[in-house]
Amino acid sequence: MGDTPHLLLVDDERSIREPLAVYLTKQGFRVTQAGDAESARTRLAAYAIDLIVLDIMMPGEDGLSLCRHIRANGDTPVILLTARSEETDRIVGLEMGADDYVVKPFSPRELSARIKTVLRRAAGGGGLRQHAPESGSYAFAGWVLKTGERALVDREGVSVALSTGEYNLLLALVQRPRQVLTRDQLLDLTQGREAAAFDRAIDNQVSRLRRKIEADPKSPEIIKTVWGGGYALSTDVTRL
């Protein structure tokens, strides 16, 4: 359908679905609505959908099950709407292959921004796209980054808490080991999560991260500065 991305909005709550559809249409998307999983399947078969916004809690077949079905049949990006901020929902949702999620009540602007980010990544924004970006754990240089609990665990099993900004940055780095990422790329990759958390300069976040994970933050071995470029994770990463 030309340049207008086609969204499928699946939510059983009309009070959310309809105004949201109006809003997203104003934002320049073409929006098709579905009130349950079954009609969502019909719409999916009928249209070329670019991205699905999917409510987890629905009567009948729920969003997670539909998400699994979508993942099994292609790689249309999915953004989940969840009523609970609880860990389990998030972990399960991301394991089901969702690309992102927002917690109700969400800001329509934020949702719109995330839709754009996910669409940009899906459109093949360089080598940056990766499926199921968050699920599982990443082991590197004696550390383990657990995405489910959003925790960084050291050799002794002690978990070292990260701020939201630090977490997003580290996640972007460990998902692309030995790859030079410019500040702009890092900003883009860390955006679209908690909206407010990317205001501070990437450099600042990097130096904070280094203090937490480098043996000697003054001569970093894990996160290296690339002359004139940006940053790169200079160790191997194992998906656990």
Sites of contact with another protein (CB under 8 A): 13, 15-16, 19-20, 22-23, 57, 81, 83-88, 104-109, 149, 151, 156-166, 196-197, 199-200, 208, 212
Rounded least distance, CB 81 to another protein, Å:
8
Query: Going by C-beta distance under 8 Å and a sequence separation of 6 or more, which residues neighbour residue 26?
Result: none
Which is nearer to another protein, 140 or 198 (by Cβ)?
198
Rounded least distance, CB 23 to another protein, Å:
5
The encoded tokens of residue 238 equal 């194992």
Burial class (CB in 10 A: 0-12, 13-18, 19+), 74: exposed
Secondary structure element (H or E) that encloses residue 181, with its range: strand 181-182
Rounded least distance, CB 190 to another protein, Å:
11
Which is nearer to another protein, 104 or 183 (by Cβ)?
104
Rounded least distance, CB 180 to another protein, Å:
25
Which is nearer to another protein, 199 or 216 (by Cβ)?
199
- Give the C-alpha separation, 82 to 84, whole Å: 5
Rounded least distance, CB 193 to another protein, Å:
12
Which is nearer to another protein, 13 or 36 (by Cβ)?
13
The encoded tokens of residue 127 equal 């080598």
Residues 227, 232, 234, 236, Cα dihedral to 10°: -160
Rounded least distance, CB 240 to another protein, Å:
17
3-state SS of 9-48 is EECCCHHHHHHHHHHHHHCCCEEEEECCHHHHHHHHHHCC
Rounded least distance, CB 165 to another protein, Å:
5
User: What percent helix, strand, coil does the chain show, rounded to 5?
Assistant: 40, 20, 40
Which is nearer to another protein, 56 or 237 (by Cβ)?
56
Which is nearer to another protein, 183 or 212 (by Cβ)?
212
Which residue in this structure is represented by tokens 């360089």? 126
What distances in angstroms separate CA 13 from CA 5, 18, 20, 37, 55, one per listed residue? Answer: 23, 8, 11, 13, 9
DSSP state of 219: S
